[in-house]
Amino acid sequence: MDRLLKAARASGSLNLSNRSLREVPSEVYRSLDSVGDDEKWWEAVELQKLILAHNNIQVLKEDLRNLPQLTVLNVSHNKLTELPAAIGELPALKSLEVSFNSIQQLPDEIGSAISLVKFDCSGNQLKELPSSLGGCVGLSEFKASNNSITSLPEDMANCSKLTKLDVEGNKLTMLSENLIASWTMLTELNASKNLLSGIPEKIGSLSRIIRLDLHQNRISAIPSSITGCCALVEFYMGNNALPTLPAEIGSLSRLGTLDLHSNQLKEYPVEACKLRLSVLDLSNNSLTGLPPELGKMTTLRKLLLTGNPLRTLRSSLVSGPTQALLKYLQSRLPQSEEAESTTTAKEDVITMATRLSITSKELSLEGLGLSAVPSQVWESGEVTKVDLSRNSIQELPVELSSCTSLQTLILSRNKIKEWPGAIFKSLPNLLCLKLESNLLRQIPSDAFQAIPMLQVLDLSGNAASLPEHPAFFSLPHLQELYLRQMQLYEVPSEILSLQNLRILDMSRNSLQSIPAGFKNLTSLTELDLSDNNILALPPELGLLEPSLQVLRLDGNPLRSIRRTILDRGTKAVLKYLKDKIADQ
């Protein structure tokens, strides 16, 4: 404990999670009082971050007031039954997590924590929230799910900076018009699994809402004012009591996911067929038919209809692929409308992919025949995955440089000729890069230095593009390397430095030998050497047993290993090679 406290006095951060603590050590409340003789007292800093999660702590003492510089306090997953009034005497506190305890009431003093930005009190035994919570005017994220709260205090209208609100799994019977009208900054609202009987008319005030989850309530109508939710991308209304949908829902141009399962819908309005959805769940309703206009929804990837008394559609269509059903519905349209729905399909897919990337952080434009990427798809600068495979792209768009959070970039099967080094320098978090089957001419010898965090690299099908000495040593975290069909005549010695490599695929080349140094790739679990010109294997390869689980050798003119051994698989081959070492 002394060592941890000493480190905390230097960093201002103390993590005591998962230590089976029954109480907070008294030294924590007065960390600066115990500066050791070997410490420079003038360099000691007050505690700013305190993590006490996943312990058995029953009480937080009022001594908490002795930590006035505290900005982060996490006491989630403990056995607290209350919070001390001193919580209001922490003027710098920005993040408070007290989830998964047994707290029955929050102190009124919570409203004095005026710097609070993030507050999570989910998974407790709360029946109400104090009105003083309205004093936390800077509150941005509030989570109070899985309690027994029956109403939200009207004073929370002062929390006008709320962007995320989660009150799932409570006993709320209503969301007040005044509160909803005050929370115009909301981007996410989850009030599912409550007892709500309606949606406030003021819901249209939420022009920035992206995700609205009201499933498993008792809601019988969606107000026409829903049109004001113009940024809405995901709308969950399953397990309610909706008999109809308002025609105005068709104006939600950014909507990508609409969940209406387990309601009482008798029809799907024609106006809602204007939506460019990717997921539509209409299962377990009372639908007897579908409008042919639904066939125009060419962006749909998932349409769920089971559990409806559909009489105008064959069961094989209902339970079959979504595209087959859409095609059937298109055939029921007048011919002019059918042609129109086909020509707009690609544009619709691009629009939908762009819209979904805002919430999913993933952008997929696979197989659209693009020669260039439309500039409008880069609405979200925080995407973590981009898939541009199976197109005809020759150069990467410069906008990709701004995606600094990107972790996965799939560029397989395009027409890229030059290594996009300038763009890769702007992607420091890239973990997976797939460039399979492009037209890469020559990869620069220092190409990999810009992407040192890479874990997966696929360069397959770019014949003769590797330099004589590829700098694989610049990729210390690499776990998977695919070099299929690259006209390689020998194994690059630099591969032998990849200590974390688990999968290596060098199939369909012209390799004639394998270096004994492969024995040092001790993390290797899969090695594909099929379809080469290998005549013999080094006995040292047998030292990779038992970690090496898959060794593919078919398609080689191996003469040093009998066919009967090869036919018995990886274990038999490795044992044979290992035994040869002993014989030498």
- Pair 440, 419: CB distance under 8 Å: yes
- Residue 339 has a pLDDT of 47
Structural element, H or E, at residue 504? strand 503-505
Out of 442, 470, 498, pick the residue that ends a domain.
470
CATH code where residue 557 lies: 3.80.10.10
Residue 88 has a pLDDT of 94
Q: Say what the pLDDT of residue 355 is.
A: 78
Q: Which of 284, 300, 334 is the last residue of a domain?
A: 334
- Please count the structural domains in the chain: 4
What are the φ/ψ torsions at residue 501 (nearest 5 degrees)? -65, 125
Q: Are 206 and 167 found together in one domain? A: no
Q: Assess whether 456 and 501 both reside in one domain.
A: no
The answer to whether residues 303 and 275 touch, using CB atoms and an 8 Å cutoff, is no
Question: 389 and 308 share a domain?
Answer: no
Q: At 505, which amino acid appears? A: D
Residues 158 and 265 in one domain: no
Specify the pLDDT at position 37: 53
Show Cβ contacts of residue 340 under 8 Å, excluding neighbours closer than 6 positions: 296
Same domain? For 112 and 223 the reply is no
- Among 470, 493, 514, give the residue marking a domain's end: 470
pTM of the model: 0.62
* Separation of alpha carbons 423 and 401, rounded Å: 5
- What is the reported pLDDT for 1? 62
Handedness of CA 317, 322, 328, 329 (dihedral sign): positive
Positive or negative: CA dihedral 11, 13, 14, 15: negative
| Residues in the chain with pLDDT values less than 50 | 41-42, 338-339, 342-343
Note the pLDDT of residue 324. Answer: 82
In a domain, 180, yes or no: no
Whether residue 210 sits in one domain with residue 312:
yes
Whether the CB-CB separation of 77 and 54 falls below 8 Å is answered with: yes
The predicted pLDDT at position 338 comes to 47
Residue 144 lies in a domain: yes
* C-alpha to C-alpha distance for 235 and 563, rounded to whole angstroms: 60
> What is the DSSP track for 64-94?
GGG-TT--EEE--SS--S---GGGGG-TT--
Query: Is 178 a domain residue?
Result: no
User: Residue 512 belongs to what domain range?
Assistant: 479-583
Q: Is 177 part of any domain?
A: no
As a whole number of angstroms, the distance between CA 445 and CA 282 comes to 55
Asked if 531 and 510 touch (Cβ cutoff 8 Å), the reply is: no
Q: What is the pLDDT of residue 301?
A: 84
Q: What is the 3-state secondary structure (H, E, C) of 113-167?
A: CCCCCEEECCCCCCCCCCHHHHHCCCCCEEECCCCCCCCCCHHHHHCCCCCEEEC
Would you say residue 487 lies in a domain? Answer: yes
pLDDT attached to residue 42: 47
516 and 443 co-located in one domain: no
184 located within any domain:
no
For residue 351, being part of any structural domain is answered with no
Q: Do 540 and 452 fall into the same domain?
A: no
Structure tokens at 491: 């194994």
Predicted pLDDT at 40? 57
User: Are 8 and 152 contained in the same domain?
Assistant: yes
**Six-digit token pair at 129?**
């929230």
In a domain, residue 316? The reply is: yes
User: What is the torsional sign of CA 220, 223, 229, 233?
Assistant: positive
Domain co-membership, 421 together with 489: no
195: Cβ contacts below 8 Å, ≥ 6 apart: 171, 172, 173, 217, 218
Nearest Cα to 67, choosing from 40, 49, 94? 49
Q: Are residues 18 and 85 in the same domain?
A: yes
Residue 270 and residue 199 in one domain: yes
- List C-alpha distances in Å: 229 to 198, 304, 340, 481, 493: 16, 24, 28, 46, 58
pLDDT of residue 32: 57
